[in-house]
Structure 1
């Protein structure tokens, strides 16, 4: 495979009418495509299409079980991704799911919990969680550009499958601008993350609940200063120090070797700039980042290659390997070593909400 053809897992970022829901409430966002950020923002917004197509490819081939993937992918966009991309989607999804499950399983009956997904796009995770049995006691928030939240609402309006998960229409409110949803368990917020600190407090957000923040290739598009400000808005500005808070990051790493330079160059041809990549270029840099952001209870990180080798059971590896031929093992390992999951937490006064993360194996460089 030539350098110009090397795929990259960054492409996996997730990637009207009134319908049956009432149209009330309001948007807090404003237009994200203004000023000097406009063109770059539109490129970032467009990466969600890559994510949904990659997710549907992995689901269609049997890597993942996700009955909501097709409903949240644009019609006519179904494309079979390369085997290494499908495997990358599988590892990324299952690794993050594993960390979320450990968070939710701590005191599952006694403690309501909160998840905030940054730059969620058409991610299906909220629907997968709310349709699981037993249904977790959670409030799930998603934040993204208004253009992306509007698109997600169009998908929801068109899919009774998605509507049933959200529950009774009496409990679900869609804003008149069709870019926000509010219900007892799910909130979709149309907001440029760079404007968090100057925006009204997000509806439905409870600063006292144990909370998990998720950024899957989201904060990477901000400057290091902006990315840090987004996290600190929650950990220092909104949540008191007594509230347990965790963060899961999925991001590219190691930009300075030959593969990393090619990866960055390929993304640049699409107008994609990964602004925090040099600052947090290694697993240790990601762990240090988490410590400096106040996640002092623990910090860990692992690249996708490590996650495949150490987190996926042997029988599951055999099942996945049997789905399609993967000849390019060298390219797979190169690609997988250039993306990572990092996770950190602070305990607060939550009685061991993140205790399940202490036994999760991280990777030392």
Structure 2
């Protein structure tokens, strides 16, 4: 399935002064940025912060392409979302530790999304991806005949979704999967309600903060089906909202959809030396992760999901997922691609990211089948 919305795990090695990479990036798309929350914050700072967040999607696409080029992942659509290589013609190649991180994060979300799709097989069902950016997952899922009756929503900033719409219309391989990129009126939402296998695709250009503005009627997500089993995905997206805003976005969906599952990928452990350096370097780039300050461990991520109303919750670090979910044969295959000398650094990096998931009204117990 995915070169997972397989962007990269942020390259925190550069935050420690190590070689290579492109700095800490997260998958920071379409979520609305979190401006400074202090009393002296000015509204004019918000657009530049949002622009910084949007710009990280380029790095996500490059990291995904690096993992695909080297054989970690299979994704025939990844190359369409990467800008032309430099004059030398050489593709950007990430460090082995980053490629492994991209692979492991991809494996985790593929496993959980697969569990949701298996649990709802034969039914109409729905996936909502927050901050989707240039993620190729819908193209890959729609191409797979096993995943019928799927309504797939992506949400991001309008500038990001408009570009994705343009590329989908312009590139034959993308247009073959989503042939009718129809814009709704003059909005930034476009859709194809005639995807093969009785599926639909919706791409929404909107700011998640508009879903829950105090004192205002919330923006509704066009085409969202409230009576279907639904999987909500946030890959380094909600972490860029203030914690109250992130909770309200989650509440927007929990209030409307009884049968709901949620998967969150975010950094954790900000208070040890590695985490402090990460936070400091992000701050130097005018980036802040409010939820990182509050939900600092897998236990706190699980408590967060319980508080949101999910009856069954789990959270694991990327390090633990690599150890427990990837078979020994697959580890050997991945190791043979490049080899990894920085085992200590890998363990440190992978311990600072977690995948958390919960559900109510449906079950994701099938995830256990994918773990070793």
Q: TM-score, normalised by structure 2?
A: 0.84
Cα contact 1:12–1:50 (8 A) shared by 2: no
**Matched ranges for 1:288-303 at <5 A:** 288-296=303-311, 298-303=312-317
Deviation of residue 177 (structure 1)?
A: 5.5
Distance 2:44 2:225 in 1: 33
Is 2:275 the partner of 1:246? no
Cα contact 1:40–1:272 (8 A) shared by 2: yes
Deviation of residue 47 (structure 1)?
A: 1.3
Which residue of structure 1 aligns with residue 320 of structure 2? 306
Distance 2:120 2:353 in 1: 31
Cα contact 1:10–1:217 (8 A) shared by 2: no
Is 2:17 the partner of 1:4? yes
Is 2:51 the partner of 1:42? yes
Distance 1:203 1:12 in 2: 27
Is 2:62 the partner of 1:53? yes
Which residue of structure 2 aligns with residue 231 of structure 1? 250
Count of aligned pairs: 333
Is 2:75 the partner of 1:69? no
Distance 1:9 1:280 in 2: 23
Deviation of residue 143 (structure 1)?
A: 0.6
Deviation of residue 270 (structure 1)?
A: 2.2
**Matched ranges for 1:216-365 at <5 A:** 216-236=235-255, 238-239=256-257, 243-296=258-311, 298-347=312-361, 352-357=362-367
Deviation of residue 79 (structure 1)?
A: 1.1
Structure 1, residues 253-272: CA drift from partner, whole Å, max 9, x if none?
00111111111122222222
Distance 2:80 2:303 in 1: 39
SS at match of 1:140: strand
Structure 2 spans left out of the alignment, 5+ residues? 1-12, 36-42, 194-199
Deviation of residue 9 (structure 1)?
A: 8.8
Cα contact 1:54–1:89 (8 A) shared by 2: yes
Is 2:177 the partner of 1:165? yes
Structure 1 spans left out of the alignment, 5+ residues? 16-28
Cα contact 1:104–1:136 (8 A) shared by 2: no
Which residue of structure 2 aligns with residue 24 of structure 1? none
Which residue of structure 1 aligns with residue 204 of structure 2? 189
Distance 2:92 2:284 in 1: 21
Distance 1:212 1:10 in 2: 27
Which residue of structure 2 aligns with residue 102 of structure 1? 115
Q: TM-score, normalised by structure 1?
A: 0.85
- Larger mean CA deviation between 172-181 and 199-208 belongs to 172-181
